[in-house]
Amino acid sequence: MHERLVPGATLGGYVVERHLARGGMADVYLARDRASGAHVALKVIAADVEVVQRELEHEARAATCVRHPNVAATIAAGVDAGRAFLVMEHVDGVSVRDLLGALTRVVVPIAVRLHVVAGAARGLDAAHEARDARGAPLGLVHRDVSPSNLLLARSGEVRVIDFGIAKTRERATQTRLGVLKGKLSYMSPEQAAGARLDARSDLFSLGIVLHELLSERKLFAAASPAELRRLVVRAEIPPLPAHVPAPIAELVAAMLQRDPASRPASAREIAETLERALRGDEAAQLAPIVDALVDGRAHEDALYDAATRIDELD
């Protein structure tokens, strides 16, 4: 794995300002475009360049076909100084993972939680319905719908990010069955089994996120990958709290059907069902919650940086 980039480092014409997050395969930085001065999210892949370069190029090409307010735009992909990177729209805010972690100490109305998933469903629908320059359906499947890949902007709007392991229908035919990509606790049963996927797999994953937002607990948790896979494929889905409206509980149950044919027909159908339960002011309600979470994270980052400097002095 490459060493973390320091503020002031440059990569492909972008100047690193600070580290934002680290995942299993990448570091994400807030960076500035030297040409335009615009802020971007710079995702640097911690893997062999030759292995990931084609995947990055695919992500950039596929993402340019997905233009929607609920999808963070992908700007460019490239390789510089032996590092493969992806340049994305910077979303000033937090992730749904941050929101889930705050539910025990922050009041978040149910309608606001539904707004979050409705926005994600709208973004996924745009990806699922995307077409290439000739108008042919791409058959795009995200394959990693999870709380860390759903961002909440300070405006209260939702953005789906990270199509890094997404597959078009054409590329899916070139992928070996049995190869798992994505976060196991948010996979559909067919994905956990290594089967060929379509858009309905993303609906199951989004159903896990919605269940967790409403229940305030992890849906699938286990001590080993094998046990986690077993839970995803076979475990009984626990009921939601009694205060969840019946139509919403029914929607979650449909999204979490093990048989893909029994799930909702599309992400658009999910969004429309959720939106019928909304009043229209949920983004405004979510905005101050995101502000508070961003401010709290900035304070934690400052403490971490101070502790790091003290360690370096020692």
Measured distance CA(87)–CA(57) in Å, rounded: 11
Whether residue 161 lies inside any domain: the answer is yes
Q: Is 312 within a domain?
A: no
Pairing of strands 14-22, 158-160: unpaired
**pLDDT, position 166:** 61
Is there a single domain that holds both residue 247 and residue 124? yes
Q: How many domains does the chain have?
A: 2
Asked if residue 308 is part of any domain, the answer here is no
- Please give the residue that has the higher pLDDT: either 306 or 147: 147
Same domain for 175 and 226: yes
pLDDT(304) > 70? no
What CA–CA distances, in Å, run from 132 to 18, 68, 106, 221, 260?
35, 15, 42, 38, 26
Domain assignment of residue 115, yes or no: yes
Tell me which residues are annotated as active site.
144
Write down which residue in 90, 122, 141 finishes a domain.
90
- Average pLDDT, rounded, for the chain: 87
In this prediction, residues 287-306 reach a mean pLDDT of 71
By residue count, the chain amounts to 314
Please work out, in degrees rounded to the nearest 5, the angle formed at the alpha carbon of residue 26 by the alpha carbons of 20 and 32.
45
Q: Return the CATH number at 194.
A: 1.10.510.10
The pLDDT of residue 159 is above 70: yes
Phi-psi region of 279 (alpha: psi -120 to 50; beta: other; left: phi over 0): alpha
Q: Are residues 145 and 257 in the same domain?
A: yes
pLDDT over 50 at 178, yes or no: no
Q: Collapsing DSSP states into helix, strand and coil, what is residue 242?
A: coil
Task: Confirm if 200 and 263 have CB atoms less than 8 A apart.
Answer: yes
Mean pLDDT check: name the lowest of 35-44, 205-214, 221-230, 289-298.
289-298
Question: Does 296 map to a domain?
Answer: no
Better-predicted residue by pLDDT, 15 or 165: 15
- Write the pLDDT tens digit of every residue in 88-123: 999 999 999 999 999 999 999 999 999 999 999 999
Cβ neighbourhood burial of 6 (10 Å; 0-12, 13-18, 19+): exposed
Token pair of 91 as six digits: 């979303």
Q: What confidence tens digit (pLDDT) does each residue in 261-293 have?
A: 999 999 999 999 999 999 999 999 999 999 999
* Burial zone of 143 (CB within 10 Å; 0-12 exposed, 13-18 middle, 19+ buried): buried
- Long-range pairs of 254-259 with CB within 8 A, sequence gap ≥ 24: 254/207, 255/203, 255/204, 255/206, 255/207, 255/210, 256/204, 256/207, 256/208, 256/211, 257/204, 258/189, 258/233
Using the 3D structure, point to which of 49, 71, 90 is the last residue of a domain. Answer: 90
Residues 76 and 105 in one domain: no
At 168 the pLDDT is 54
Q: Which domain holds residue 39?
A: 1-90
